[in-house]
Amino acid sequence: MEQFDLAEKTKLVIKDNVLAVICDNPLKTVSSAIFNGGSRQVKAVLNIGVPEGYSDLSLHLDPLQLITQSAAKLNITKDYLAMVTAAKIKNYTLVTKKDGDFCVSVAATAGCSHGESSGEDIKVEEITGTINIIVFIDGNPTESCMVAALITATEAKSAALRDFDMRSRYSGDSATGSITDSVTVATTGRGTEIVLGGPASKLGQLVGHCARKAVTQALLKQEPVWANRSVLDRLRERHLPVEKLAAEVSKIEGLTVTAEQLREILAQNPWAGAVLLAAAKMDDDYKKNLLPTDYKNWKTITKCFATPTKDCEQLADCDGVDLPPFLKETLIAIVKRRFSR
């Protein structure tokens, strides 16, 4: 068991599959937790990891069984709220920062194998991952300030995912979270009243800093892959696997390429990979109609993106190739250049 002091009479405890903020006195909380969420007073805030082999069906038919059994490991039977995660509790991160009369500590666990982009169509087949955040404030924020701090922590989480260029598994768009994320803000209520908790406030800056750093570090502990992805990994996350890229380019007469050949081309030519990824980022803006207004003829510019020559406007149209425009023209140019040698 691990244990850390967060404030007077308040500690962070980690045991087996349970991470808990425990206080001798009631904590004011605002939470989206599955168990006792909402606006409450509790003496413990729990983040419970789902044990290996524990089925999704068992969890969703009776989440209370797992919660009560896990809480009992810390002799907690009442006055608590609980979040649940498929991420490993041992991969938690704690970040603390103090400013004047108050201190903020953020404990996070994070997995994002089910990244999503809020507002899209989502059909859930299984649940893994989850980003859970506990924001502990040793201070006296008002209830509305606590709600603002919860929003700030959520923004910080989304910013951390943007830093990784994490994508939704459902659409390939930039991910804003995972499908089962939860945030709890808990406070001791000590000291001078704090009214503002938004990103520009003194409290909000601490919350944002700690939450963003905690989520980043927890993600890398849980899923180190996010720090070590190839160009093809990044394109696959956009729903553009190498097999599709090769198949679409091969629709052009005289330009047949296999997935393995395309992997080899990119492995031997770092420039090609860099330009492909840059093209994919331009296609993000193209999809959302956010291309800069400096230029009017973006169709021509897509053709010149990878081959900026005077003759690029005369390149043949490839309307039958079902790929985003910047990536399409760039990939075709890369493959043509490779086969012309």
pLDDT at residue 310 in the model:
53
Please name each of the domains of the chain with its CATH number: 2-227 (3.60.70), 231-340 (no CATH)
Q: Cα 243 to the chain's mean position, in Å? A: 26
The pTM (predicted TM-score) of the whole model is 0.91
pLDDT at residue 51 in the model:
82
pLDDT at residue 175 in the model:
94
Residue type for 45, please? V
Residue of 261, 265, 238 whose CA lies nearest to 327: 238
Measured distance CA(9)–CA(22) in Å, rounded: 8
Q: What is the DSSP letter of 51?
A: P
Residue type for 108, please? A
Structure tokens at 34: 């599955």
Q: Which segments of the chain have a pLDDT < 70?
A: 53-61, 125-129, 306-317, 341
